[in-house]
Chains A and B, each alone.
Chain A
Amino acid sequence: MKTRINLYASLLALTILAGCSSSPVYDSEPDTTEIDNTAVKTVQVESVEVEIVPVVIDVPTVFYFDFDKALLTAESRADLLEHAVVLASNSRSVRLEGHADERGTREYNMALGERRATAVKEFLVMQGVAGDRIEVISFGEERAAAYGSDDEAWRLNRRVELK
């Protein structure tokens, strides 16, 4: 009850104060703000690592690209021709993981990583590998192969890994 009386007293004081000044009127806004509870709960997820059987072959399995480009180099095409021959002789599925360097935006780099992996897939399909045996996934700039912000690290990160 005491608090209530004090509240009325302060309201009265407020009215008096407002009355003796010509300051801006705040009548339109409530004179009390109630703060709500804002606690945050946590979710823990068991993340799944996709099972990958390493490709055991004496041909490079990483293919590199220019900045903001998805064109295969002559070297990559030569290596992929050998992969296509091996893939034609077995029934193994492959996964092409596309990556970008850290420059530029994260979601654009996701799209760029996919475009690079798709370029590799299309090359393999042209060589006769069935498209449904090839999974394309992009990690954008989320999984760097080399750390640091220099040309060499960036070069190593603009890549597609065949797994």
Chain B
Amino acid sequence: MIFLRQCSILLIALFMGSSAYGELVIRVTEGNDQPTIIALSPFDLKDIQIDEDIAAIVEADLRRSGLFELIPRQDMLAFPTKPSDVYYRDWRLLGVEYLVVGSMGLLPDGRYELEFSLLSINSQKLQFTHKVRSTAGDIRNLAHSVSDKIYKSITGIRGAFSTRLAYVSVIREGDDFTYRLQVADADGVRESLMLESKQPIMSPNWSPDGKELAYVSFETGRPAIYRQNLASAKREQLTAFKGLNGAPSWSPDGSTIAMVLSKDGNPEIYSLELASGALTRLTRHFAIDTEPAWMPDGKHLLFTSDRGGTPQIYKLKIADRSIERITFKGNYNARASIAPDGRTVAMVHRSSSVFHIAALDLKTRRLIELTETTLDESPSIAPNGAMLMYATKYDDRGILAAVSIDAGVKYNLPAKQGDVREPAWSPFLR
């Protein structure tokens, strides 16, 4: 390459000062006891102008997972940019277990290409070398993709750094409300507005391909369910029945949305087949039945019902409509979110008088409380099953927070203004 290598260090120094500019600001409150120690040698940028510090984004991703401790750049003895330049001994002295090196290139079509390698310092081995390409506008996605690769190689679990969050934000001025349906990267940065309304917006739920959201909007003065494409803003009203139109939940194959309707006099679970518009009633009980959530097999739904006297979670087999209660501990269990393995169910759980997020193992029936704050709600499990996002209150304001499924790692994403609520973690986007 004809570019001058000396420029790269200066550029990195400049970009290190750049701060997060998203609406949500992450604070890690609790991490793993024995994190893996990893170092990211600043990438060789040649003299390519990039507005983002890629290594810093990757470092923040890995730190946020709670599983890694990052070596500060000022402690590094050298900044190798390719595996052949690495002196393993230098890194072993720092206690580093893994090292990432890489360099940027410019493709003929103007896109960027980052070639990076992960090295195991203890075994002096190259774990892998990989290339990621993106346009200038998607550099953050490129960085998250790097994080995904590193995370997968070290933990064996697919990374969820390239995913997104949907959530509702509300700003109140006197009696005047502004509701916004927002989408941001999983790290809270690059917040985009999908929908703004003076009337409530509720219950965002992702399509399995991550291209659309279903949600409830009161913009007509009454609740109705809509679907909306993120990239095109194409939008369709799916229901406007008398009474409740709520809790949309997209089936794993994308063909059907389960929802709650009270058009027949009482809240019941229905399924709406999107292609045909066929509506099928799935429950029949005078109690409240709501909050359907699909099991990954697409054949069962979990839902909340107070048919036993208090809200509890039940499992519905769609084929024969048979119903089985699955929660027994606590007097309020609701709003199930199911891990991709179909085994762990996160829910809102009340023990004594406070509402926590709890995880129930469907096999062992063991229920563990994951959060210690009060008024916790709306759990949404990441597509890799490692973390979940939920809504809670902090200083009388609605904020989003995350906790690992084993409760060992926690972080908050407080909004800069207003209340944030109802996080929905996207599926894997590619």
Q: Do A and B come from one complex?
A: yes
A11-B407 Cα distance, complex, nearest whole Å: 42
The verdict on A33 contacting B1 (CB below 8 Å), with A3-B107, A149-B375 known, is: no
Q: Which of B197, B246, B396 contacts A45 (CB 8 A)?
A: B197
Number of B interface residues in the complex (CB < 8 A):
83
With both beta carbons as reference points, the residue of chain A lying nearest to B230 in the complex is identified as: A40
The verdict on A39 contacting B335 (CB below 8 Å), with A32-B130, A45-B197, A102-B375 known, is: no
With both beta carbons as reference points, the residue of chain A lying nearest to B131 in the complex is identified as: A32
**B residues within 8 A CB of A32?**
130-133
Q: Which of A82-128 contact B (CB under 8 A)?
A: 102-108, 110-112, 114-115
A46-B218 Cα distance, complex, nearest whole Å: 11
- Residue A54 is within 8 A (CB to CB) of chain B in the complex: no
The answer to whether A24 and B288 touch across the interface, beta carbons within 8 angstroms, is no
The verdict on A6 contacting B291 (CB below 8 Å), with A43-B194, A107-B260 known, is: no
The answer to whether B304 and A105 touch across the interface, beta carbons within 8 angstroms, is yes
Q: How many contacts A-B (CB < 8 Å)?
A: 193
Q: Which of A24, A38, A115 contacts B128 (CB 8 A)?
A: A24
The verdict on A104 contacting B355 (CB below 8 Å), with A115-B288, A136-B243 known, is: yes
The answer to whether B192 and A42 touch across the interface, beta carbons within 8 angstroms, is yes
The answer to whether A41 and B231 touch across the interface, beta carbons within 8 angstroms, is yes
- Residue A58 is within 8 A (CB to CB) of chain B in the complex: no
The answer to whether A37 and B137 touch across the interface, beta carbons within 8 angstroms, is yes
Distance from A7 Cβ to chain B, minimum over Cβ atoms (Å): 9
The answer to whether B396 and A148 touch across the interface, beta carbons within 8 angstroms, is yes
Interface residues of B (CB under 8 A from A): 1, 83-84, 105-108, 115, 120, 123, 125-135, 137-138, 141-142, 145, 149, 153, 183, 192-200, 202-203, 217-223, 228, 230-233, 235, 243-244, 246-247, 260, 262, 267, 288, 290-291, 304, 306, 310-311, 332, 334-335, 348, 350, 355, 374-375, 377-378, 393, 396, 421-422, 429-430
Interface residues of A (CB under 8 A from B): 3, 6, 10, 13-14, 17-18, 21-24, 26, 31-50, 68, 102-108, 110-112, 114-115, 136-140, 142-143, 147-149
